[in-house]
Structure 1
């Protein structure tokens, strides 16, 4: 019979994406982006982890509804609470006029992009 290995004290636990990415399981959704939003770091096909229990703060990326269609937008508080297009901030949507209910479905908490695409690569290799 031998001695136990001292390395056994340093074993790593498995990483659980559920524990890392989801704080409120009953209010969390995973959506897939159909467009790229360069300024927010979202590539076409990225998975967006959306938490509908969180309250957005100024500058948050949110999923909102415009004319009953889900869209990825940026939440702004000033001068009045409104949502704006990420890539065209001059296009604003007033929360009271343009939205059904309150307009914000949930806050995007994580963005999971496929790194193989190289869409954000500044110096592509030929």
Structure 2
């Protein structure tokens, strides 16, 4: 027993993940999270869509290179431009000339089958 879904009643445009998630293919890449960052809604092994041409704004999750490592941080622009630890927001690192932002996380794709955020 099921429900009738009148599919023919709707003219549905075909969805394309590329067009929705990757508006600038030449500057977009995908990373995989190595840990769960609950405060940012990122589960371990989540796919992170990163746009290296996007302009970060206050509160953006950014990929930066710090001490030769790629790190995820939250950009804070005021009162002082700094990089905030995603797990511990009170731990800020003032941006120095060596701090390099490589891109802005534009989408976080979690595996919903894991149910990690279910309460």
For this structure pair, what is the TM-score category when the shorter chain's length is used for normalisation? 0.7 to 0.9
Q: Does 1:120 align with 2:114?
A: no
Task: Identify the residue that residue 93 of structure 1 maps to in structure 2.
Answer: 93
**Within 1, Cα distance between the matches of 2:53 and 2:97?**
23
**Within 2, Cα distance between the matches of 1:117 and 1:12?**
29
Task: Identify the residue that residue 105 of structure 1 maps to in structure 2.
Answer: 102
Give the TM-score taking structure 1 as reference length. 0.83
**Within 2, Cα distance between the matches of 1:9 and 1:35?**
44
**Within 1, Cα distance between the matches of 2:10 and 2:97?**
57
Larger radius of gyration: 1
- Secondary structure of 1:31's counterpart equals strand
Note the C-alpha offset of 1:10.
Answer: 4.0
Note the C-alpha offset of 1:37.
Answer: 0.7
Note the C-alpha offset of 1:9.
Answer: 7.9
Task: Identify the residue that residue 3 of structure 1 maps to in structure 2.
Answer: none
Give the TM-score taking structure 2 as reference length. 0.87
**Within 1, Cα distance between the matches of 2:97 and 2:85?**
16
Q: How many residues align?
A: 113
List gaps (5 residues or longer) in structure 2: 1-6
Note the C-alpha offset of 1:8.
Answer: 6.4
- Secondary structure of 2:54's counterpart equals coil
